[in-house]
Structure formats: C-alpha cells, structure tokens
Amino acid sequence: MPKLYFKYGAMGSSKTAQALMVKFNYEEKGYRVALMKPSVDNRDGLAIIKSRIGLQDVGLLIDKNRNLYEWYLQNRYDVLIIDEAQFLSGAQIDQLKDIAIEFVPVLCFGLKTDFQTHMFEGSKRLFEISDSLTEIKSVCICGRKAEVNARIQNGKIVREGAAGFHRRK
C-alpha cells in the first residue's frame, strides 16, 4: 500500500540531495516520477530543484492554489516527490495523503520549523497525517546535532524578522 512520507531536517541536512537521489533510483527502475516544489521557492530559478552539493533537476511547480488531487488525476505518475513541502498548505497536504491512500507513494522533504522554531503549516500537517516520519540528521557548526534552523547575521543568532529564504553562501 502506498504511503505518505515526510523526511525532515534542519537546513543543510541534505534533504534536497536525498530527494534527487530518490528520484534517480525510482527512474532507474522505470518508474515515472513527478519531482515538484512549491512555486514560492524561486531562489534557484523557478523550476530548478538544486542541492547545496550541486545535484539539480528541473521540477514541476506547485502553485499555492493548486488542487494536487485534481492535478494528479490529470497527470498520473508512479511516484510523487515534493521538495520544500513545508511551504504547502494544510489542504494540499491532505490532498497528497488522499493520493497516497488511493494511488501512489508520496515522498515529502522539508523543514520542520522556521528560524523562530515555529512549525510551518505544511510541516505541521505532515506531522499529523504522514504514515512515516524520518528525521534527516545534520551537524551544527558547534559540532553537535543540528536541532533547529538559525538565522545568523554578523556572527550572531537573529531571532526576529520575516521568514523567508536566506541561503548561506
């Protein structure tokens, strides 16, 4: 039976790299894979899904108003892989769950919380209804396990400000 998976971790934990590797593995076995991301994530170019280690692919964009269940009925893939799933709405996560119940595996990759340790809407719903939750562990600059995302400016942790994309160079 297909499942809804959520693989989450702090920034820099290789979520996108793992999503791209999973896509490669499925395609190598002949599966038709939809690699997708929310359209709000445009930091690497609109349809580019790119990891920090340089792996990249072109993906399909998910508009904030797209009904993913209806989209799936029109497009039919063997597997759905969603990067940056934290930016999906709760309703879209519910639609992915319905796809996983009725049709195919859905693998979501994303952050659990923002830099202020608040859960994203999509992540919260994924924690509530996923069939499988897996933490992708990473190491903090202090040498311990990375627990949360931190926004660093001038060498200090910033705890206030608007959420958004701030990729470390």
Which two structure tokens, joined as six digits, stand for 67? 């009904």
Which two structure tokens, joined as six digits, stand for 46? 């609109």
Which residue in the list 27, 28, 70, 84 is annotated as catalytic? Answer: 84
Question: What is the mean predicted confidence (pLDDT) over 41-47?
Answer: 75
Distance CA 72, CA 66 (A): 11
Domains in the chain: boundaries: 4-158
pLDDT of residue 150: 61
Examine the residue annotation and report whether 121 is marked as an active-site residue of this protein: no
**Is the model's pLDDT at 103 over the cut of 90?**
yes
Q: Does domain 4-158 have CATH number 3.30.9.10?
A: no
pLDDT of residue 151: 58
- ∠121-125-130 over CA atoms, to 5°? 145
Question: What is the mean predicted confidence (pLDDT) over 77-98?
Answer: 97
Which two structure tokens, joined as six digits, stand for 167? 């990729």
Q: For residues 163 and 132, which has the higher predicted lDDT (pLDDT)? A: 132
Mean pLDDT lowest among 20-24, 53-57, 146-150: 146-150
| Of 34, 2, 35, residue with least CA distance to 103 | 2
pTM for the complete prediction? 0.86
Distance CA 43, CA 16 (A): 13
pLDDT of residue 167: 42
CA dihedral over 151, 49, 44, 74, signed as positive or negative: negative
